[in-house]
Amino acid sequence: MDYLVENENNIVFKCTKENLTLEEFLFDQELSGRLFRKLYKAKHIYVNGEFQRKDLKLKIGDMVSVYMEDEISNVEPEKMDLDIVYEDHDLLILNKKSDMVVHLTKSHETNTLSNGIAYYFQEKNIKRKIRFVNRLDMDTTGLLIVAKNPFAHQQIAIQFENNTVKKKYLALVDGIVEKNQDIIDRPIGREEERSIKKVVTKDGQRALTKYKVKERLKNTTLLDIQIYTGRSHQIRVHLNHIGHPIIGDVLYGKESPYIKRQALHSYYLQIKHPRTKESIEFNAILPEDMTRLINLMKD
């Protein structure tokens, strides 16, 4: 194998600094210590096509490559329609449908998005485990990021941890929101120890949500929302806290005769590409049930 050729298994970096060891150089590329140790132990780190010791001093122009070996997924493949927004060697971006569980659980071992991706990978001969970087609730639609190798996963995960990923949502909420825009800066924690429900509480983790009114409808407001932290149920909790629960959200509001789920859609993501470091953005069109609800509320 030519370890200097960029492909789904190989990631190649060019050294542009002097007096760095191989290990220091890869840490400079934000390779995690854990991943470095795993790759080094397997002798999957190369300089100019040859395996080298981690304390080797690099020269400007040296080509450093890391090799991601093929993997075996233990998820049962199931054929299903996937709405793929974008795909390359490192990323698979999906527009998730409603009523779709993302991960396998004891109560959901089949018919999850993981099963569908496993089938897609099998059909395309993509020998990779399924690594979701972000999460969406079962009844929230929109953009999901799947990393196709360990390097891409840790690179995007760092961005989420540092809150540098730009995440925007559209939500239809109960009532007319008076302020044209506002920031909700309230900590979120569990209501009770074993409860899945979250609440605003002084003992919780900081959560920051910004909203803008996109349109005021019949006793309903369409909000454009950006979140700066990634707390579980964050948008749903914050909007309920200000007295405007999301329409159809049975956990934080009430059932709706017009939509069978919470009217929340992740429509925009902006990240740095794990390999090129360039800013890339993705959009997902509004699902039919939310479009229908908006039109209904205009009448």
Confidence tier at 7 by pLDDT (50, 70, 90)? confident
pTM reported for the whole predicted model: 0.90
Question: Do the domains at 10-67 and 84-298 have one common CATH topology?
Answer: no
Superfamily grouping for domain 84-298? Pseudouridine synthase (3.30.2350.10)
- Is the pLDDT assigned to residue 210 strictly greater than 70? yes
Q: Which of 55, 88, 90, 137 is catalytic?
A: 137
DSSP secondary structure string, 63-97? EEEEE-------SPP------EEEE-SSEEEEEEP
Partners of 146 in beta bridges: 92, 132
Confidence tier at 299 by pLDDT (50, 70, 90)? low
- Is the pLDDT assigned to residue 286 strictly greater than 80? yes
- Is the pLDDT assigned to residue 173 strictly greater than 70? yes
Instruction: Enter the DSSP assignment of 122.
Output: H
Mean local confidence (pLDDT), 27-34 = 91
Which pLDDT value is given to residue 110? Answer: 84
Which pLDDT value is given to residue 1? Answer: 63
pLDDT in tens, 69-97: 999 888 999 999 999 999 999 999 999 99
- In the chain, what are the domain boundaries? 10-67, 84-298
Candidate CATH numbers 3.10.290.10, 3.30.1280.10, 3.30.450.40, 3.90.226.10; the one for domain 10-67? 3.10.290.10
Active site residue 137: yes
Which pLDDT value is given to residue 230? Answer: 87
Share of the chain above pLDDT 90, in %: 81
